[in-house]
Structure 1
Amino acid sequence: MAGEPIITIVGNLTADPELRYVSSGTPVASFTVASTPRSLNRQTNQWEDGEAMFVRCSVWREYGENVAESLTKGMRVVVTGRLTVRSYEYNGQQRTSIEMQVDEVGPSLRYARAQVTKISGGSGGQNRGGGNYGGGQGGQSQQGAPSGGRASYDAPQGGSSYDPWQQAPQGGSSFDDLPPF
């Protein structure tokens, strides 16, 4: 929908993501990100923590299963998504909560290293509303031929016949690690 506020939060997971299945069998992973602002106290020249903000996040379908398998409590993450308002009744009182419907999530690499494993098969890489990564204009068609003259982001692991970097240029030159000067 147009006009929804999109935000990015950097923080730590307060617990392992919870994976559950709704009545239709669709998986959803839920997790909470704690983000604590830090500021420099110029009088003491020390960093001080501000008030922590806790944001509840939801990720649906195969994406949610990937999140539940990949992220764990305490991990520093970068989360981008749309804020949504949810009203509910608890102990006879009407309550409201602000939650995030996640578009993108991943580990923060500021203080860590990550090993990414691409999932083969299934629907990995199909457009899930966030960007164009394999279907549609400029992506790769179902038969494997690129549309729009671009190589696909979902190319097979060994490369594709449309990969411009797959072979050395014509004319007998070869590549090496030495600079040309």
Structure 2
Amino acid sequence: MSKANFVIEGFAAEPKQRVSQSGKQMLDISVAHSPRKFNKQTNQWEDATDRDGNKVTLWARATFFDDMAAFLATQVTKGTLVRLEGEPRLNVYEDGGGRPAANIEIQFASLAVVPLKPRQDAGHGGFNAGSGAGMNGWAQPGANGTQNGFQDSSGFDDQQPF
């Protein structure tokens, strides 16, 4: 017996809420992945295409139930960066144009929201939108060797390792 595990990280489509015939809350979350490759001739990143020149997009979908469905409905909207993991099941079908298509359904799924790095420019979203404060006050050393009210006894500096 073998067991496969599939992980995809990408931006979510708008989640779809529904209710089963037995009254269970359900939430379908789909995540897209479009492979890209670097073109050395143009020095640009380009979307990968199939042999007919069509852009390739892989869709993975998971369904969550009851309390998890209700919770994720408050956390995930269209455009949320998520990491979806679970056992894959391949679904092959014909799309609206009659062309063969496929997607991956993730069973026994877990989902995590991936935090995006906040932007440093005020007024354009992120943590400092409109406030002018933002991250400028984060991790600033305080008086007498304290940092945000705690004594720093780690012996580590705050320089990023990369």
TM-score band (shorter)? 0.5 to 0.7
Q: 1:55 aligns with which of 52, 57, 60?
A: 60
Identity over aligned pairs, percent: 29
In structure 2, the partner of 1:99 is: 105
Is the CA contact (8 Å cut-off) linking 1:11 and 1:77 kept in structure 2?
A: yes
**In the alignment, does 2:37 pair up with 1:39?**
yes
Is the CA contact (8 Å cut-off) linking 1:59 and 1:101 kept in structure 2?
A: no
CA RMSD of aligned residues (A): 3.3
**In the alignment, does 2:25 pair up with 1:27?**
yes
SS of equivalent residue, structure 1 residue 57: strand
SS of equivalent residue, structure 2 residue 151: coil
Is the CA contact (8 Å cut-off) linking 1:33 and 1:54 kept in structure 2?
A: yes
In structure 2, the partner of 1:177 is: 152
| Worse-matched range after superposition: 5-14 or 19-28 | 19-28
Deviation string, structure 1 residues 136-163 (Cα, Å, up to 9, x no partner): xxxxxxxxxxxxxxxxxxxxxxxxxxxx
Deviation string, structure 1 residues 74-132 (Cα, Å, up to 9, x no partner): 111111011125689xxxxxx98641125211222244599xxxxxxxxxxxxxxxxxx
Assess, with a 3 A threshold, how the Cα gap between structure 1 residues 84 and 112 changes in structure 2: closer, same or farther.
farther
Is the CA contact (8 Å cut-off) linking 2:4 and 2:87 kept in structure 1?
A: yes
In structure 2, the partner of 1:70 is: 75
In structure 2, the partner of 1:158 is: none
Aligned residue identity for 1:18 = K
Counting matched residue pairs gives 113
In structure 1, the partner of 2:132 is: none
Q: With CA pairs under 8 Å and 6+ residues apart, which has the higher RCO, 1 or 2?
A: 2
Unaligned runs of 5+ in 2: 49-55, 94-100, 120-125, 127-149, 156-162
1:96 and 1:8 map into 2 onto residues whose CA distance is 17
Assess, with a 3 A threshold, how the Cα gap between structure 1 residues 49 and 102 changes in structure 2: closer, same or farther.
farther
**In the alignment, does 2:9 pair up with 1:10?**
yes
Assess, with a 3 A threshold, how the Cα gap between structure 1 residues 106 and 96 changes in structure 2: closer, same or farther.
closer
Return the TM-score normalized by structure 2: 0.56
Is the CA contact (8 Å cut-off) linking 1:13 and 1:31 kept in structure 2?
A: yes
2:42 and 2:92 map into 1 onto residues whose CA distance is 43
1:35 deviation in Å? 0.8
Unaligned runs of 5+ in 1: 89-94, 115-174
More helix by share: 2
More strand by share: 2
1:6 and 1:30 map into 2 onto residues whose CA distance is 19
